[in-house]
Every structure is written in structure tokens, then in C-alpha cells.
């Protein structure tokens, strides 16, 4: 099993739709979880951290399921500007290492 896996998509949704992405991770010792957004040929930008109790930022909700070892990102009321690739990132659980990134899920929102 790969360390961090995401469905590459693409997810094609109309404006206003609700869409959810999952990201599975293999290391049960992982403690930190993040969602990044990457626009075409640009740098990944931190979208939100994922907390154990779940967290929300406007139209975006992130959840963590430790038992099944996955994190999720829910986007409500999708906008055209939400079209991008969404990367999940997980720390390895060992101090002094880098984040492990998934390959990303591509979202395309159309009018």
C-alpha cells in the first residue's frame, strides 16, 4: 500500500455542487494532516490543516478518520474558481522528516 493515496479524478462538477475527496494514509503514527491546493503550473498552497475533531473554513470542511486512516475534504457550493488540484499531505509520524504528499485530485467546476 502506498503511503498516501488519492483518487486522481478528474472530478467534473457543475457550479453549486457539493464534492468530497478522500485521502488514505498507511502510517498509523502520523499526527499532522493537511490539504493543499495547486493551480496549474503553480506552487501548492496550504488550504487547511485537518484537526482530529474536524474543522471548517467557509465552504470547506476537513475531517480525519483515524480508525480507517483517511482524511477528507468537502467543498460545498462549488465555484468556478475552485477548479484546481487538491493535494493531501501527511507527516510520517517520525520526528525530523518531511511531509508525504499524495499525487493530488483534480477538480473541474463548470458553469
Partner 1 sequence: DADVTQTPRNRITKTGKRIMLECSQTKGHDRMYWYRQDPGLGLRLIYYSFDVKDINKGEISDGYSVSRQAQAKFSLSLESAIPNQTALYFCATAPDDTEQYFGPGTRLTVT
Residues making contact with partner 1 (CB under 8 A): 31-32, 34, 41-46, 49, 87, 89, 91, 95-99, 101-104
Least distance to partner 1, CB of residue 62, Å: 13
> How many residues are present in the chain?
111
Residue with smaller CB distance to partner 1, 29 or 67: 29
Which of 32, 24, 29, 26 is closest to 5 using CA atoms? 24
How far the first Cα of the chain sits from its last, in Å, is 37
Give the largest CA-CA distance in the chain: 45
Least distance to partner 1, CB of residue 73, Å: 15
Residue with smaller CB distance to partner 1, 1 or 41: 41
Element (H, E) at 33: strand 33-38
Least distance to partner 1, CB of residue 60, Å: 16
Amino acid at each position: 500500500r502506498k503511503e498516501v493515496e488519492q483518487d486522481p479524478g478528474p472530478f467534473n462538477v457543475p457550479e453549486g455542487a457539493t464534492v468530497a475527496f478522500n485521502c488514505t494514509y498507511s502510517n498509523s503514527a502520523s499526527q499532522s494532516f493537511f490539504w493543499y491546493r495547486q493551480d496549474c503550473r503553480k506552487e501548492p498552497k496550504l488550504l487547511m490543516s485537518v484537526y482530529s475533531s474536524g474543522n471548517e473554513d467557509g465552504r470547506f470542511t476537513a475531517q480525519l478518520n483515524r480508525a480507517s486512516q483517511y482524511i477528507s475534504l468537502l467543498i460545498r457550493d462549488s465555484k468556478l474558481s475552485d477548479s484546481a488540484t487538491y493535494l493531501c499531505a501527511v507527516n510520517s509520524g517520525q520526528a525530523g522528516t518531511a511531509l508525504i504528499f499524495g499525487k493530488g485530485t483534480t477538480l473541474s467546476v463548470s458553469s
